[in-house]
Amino acid sequence: MKEQYDHDFIDRLRAECDIVAVISDYVSLQKKGRNYWGCCPFHQEKTPSFSVAAEKGFFYCFGCQTGGDIFYFLMKVEQISFIDAVKLLAQKMNISLPERQQSEYDKQRARELAILYRVNELAGNFFHACLTKTAHGKQALEYLSNRGIDQNVIREFQLGYAPPQWDKLSQALRQRGVLEEHLLQAGLAVSRSQGGVYDRFRQRIMFPIRDVRGRIIAFGGRVLEKSQPKYLNSPDTILFNKRNVLYGFHNSYKYIKETGQAIVVEGYLDLITAYSAGVKNIVASLGTAFTQEQAKQLLKLGQEIVFAYDSDAAGQNATLRALTIVRRLGAKIRIVSLPDGKDPDEYIRKHGVDEFRGQVTNALLLMDYQMKRVLEAVDTASLEGKIAAVSQIVPVLADLDNAVEMNGYISRLSEILAIDETAIRSELSKYLRLSKKDKNVIPGQTSSVHLVSSPVNNASSTAEKQLIRLMLDDPGLIPQIQPRLLPEDFQHPHRWELIQLLVDAYNKGENLPTVLTPLLSEQAHIELSGIMVMESKVDDPLRIADDCLRFLRLSRLKDLYEKHRLQAIEFERIGDSRSLQELAESQRIKDEISKLYQ
């Protein structure tokens, strides 16, 4: 999408924009040092951690680790596309937009989308009318009424009913000029083997699925009887991909943004019941596995995601599958465990919305939830139970990417099971070796067993950032630094991505850092933003750069030395002759470390 406007025009907007003035329309900023500070608009906070570097044209929040240039800010705060952010910034700066030429493909695509939006809107109106104005919908209305869903809710969510006839919708829409091919493309009809089409949805309560702009892009249908499948969703179309869509998101996104928290439920009725009762910061995952794409949408609005899936075994397993998707995206995850095996819809109708809110407030953190499930499932009074508990919890511990958090849970587990921490650490170390998991505290660096109890290497992180900032502030350092740069010395993959692009841009004679922003991944863009708002004033940049490079090399070699040393000890303990090879390698690394100190 970025190519739809000329790069020169985009660069002009970025260069001439007063980022402080634009962001001040959304955030109250005060100057402190060289930067401007305020409370972040993307998460709730009382102490300002949102920083704007006016000279560099970047913002960064040290609280939720969100950052970028002025376009990214407008995209995130207004929930708009890049093109719309360009238009909005040009409007704020009173600069006329250049005319854009649309290709024939783009024009045809726009026509196809417009047709399918119209077809879905007509279908939504048809289903709604069948529910509220015909005898076909009488049973469905009674069902919804018994579930506590009144006419106001039916109207707000435009609920409908698909009649039992095979082609009632298809006939009605054809009379409105809709072609069979468009019914098929929208996923509303299915081809007959002998020609013609029949309706995909029949004898079901219908739930329109909308995009963030409120346009109907698909439907979900629920049977009234016990036939299968209980729920049926539209197939994937050019408008709809269930991996990217959350039911109710267009209603709830402003409430998620206000609270910094999203509650995720499984089903349509779970959401409708909770939303109608006043729990507005809620979405549903369409009864399917929660995806990374869905998680990223929510994390743009807030850092906390609370899962309130069904509390039966299937619901809990679905929750755990969802959590593996979200774990490494930086979300704060909590789990609601509703008693009595209820889903949120049933629980709210039986106990009331205040009780449900209390369950959300007391929701467990992810690791606590997983430990609780394991400890409830085994008899921890017996030795066999303790062994079973440790063996089941160790893989969960191994998924943690923070050593401080890992050590805390090891200590807690040791206390609960009344066994020595050393035994748990030994099992964890064994698991990490056998599974060859990369469990460094900072993603992207090969781990070693001793890191199970090592602190986070903040010094290496600081050195990486300082080196990048030096290269940005003084590109003339790059030719002197480049020959000494090794990817294995960098713990953070996105910082190495920045290094590579910096060197490449310099060698091409391009301007830094603005040339980087269209090329970076989202995480690398955030990293760049955090680096750009750092206070940086050094007297001897080349000496500092040399110190950073040497420190990073030493850190890597020391970790490598410790890995081989411990491996040699382990091999020697079990009588494996490979201990000699490991000792020789550890000595070679030690000699290399000594040379760096000379």
Dump pLDDT digits (tens) for 222-260: 998 877 788 999 999 999 999 889 999 999 988 998 898
DSSP state of 539: S
95-104, 366-375, 439-448: which has the minimum mean pLDDT? Answer: 439-448
Report helix angle 383-398 to 421-435, nearest 10: 50
Do residues 337 and 306 lie in contact, with contact meaning Cβ atoms separated by under 8 Å? no
pLDDT in tens, 313-333: 655 666 666 676 676 677 788
- Calculated CA dihedral for residues 571, 575, 581, 583, nearest 10 degrees: 60
* Alpha-carbon gap, residue 311 to 342, rounded angstroms: 6
Do residues 42 and 301 lie in contact, with contact meaning Cβ atoms separated by under 8 Å? yes
pTM, two decimal places: 0.62
* Alpha-carbon gap, residue 283 to 300, rounded angstroms: 14
Q: Which CATH number fits domain 244-363: 3.40.50.300, 3.40.50.1820, 3.40.640.10, 3.40.1360.10?
A: 3.40.1360.10
Greater confidence (402 vs 141) lies with 141
For 293-303, what is the mean pLDDT?
A: 83
Average pLDDT, the chain: 85
Greater confidence (115 vs 492) lies with 115
pLDDT at residue 541 greater than cutoff 90: no
* Alpha-carbon gap, residue 445 to 439, rounded angstroms: 8
CATH fourth-level superfamily of 458-597: DNAb Helicase; Chain A (1.10.860.10)
Residue where the block lists tokens 């050590």: 407
Q: Which CATH number fits domain 113-240: 3.30.2310.20, 1.25.40.10, 3.90.980.10, 2.60.40.2140?
A: 3.90.980.10
At residue 398, the pLDDT reads 84
Q: Does the bond joining 229 to the residue before it have cis omega, within 30 degrees of 0?
A: yes
**HSE-CB for 312 with a 13 A CA cutoff:** 5
Ranges of each domain in the chain: 2-92, 113-240, 244-363, 378-451, 458-597
Residue where the block lists tokens 């025009």: 9
At residue 128, the pLDDT reads 98
User: Over pLDDT 90: what percentage of the chain?
Assistant: 36
At residue 324, the pLDDT reads 63
- Calculated CA dihedral for residues 13, 87, 218, 153, nearest 10 degrees: 120
At residue 295, the pLDDT reads 87
Residue of 389, 396, 486 lying closest to 439 (CA atoms): 396
For 31-40, what is the mean pLDDT?
A: 89
CATH code reported for the domain at 2-92: 3.90.580.10
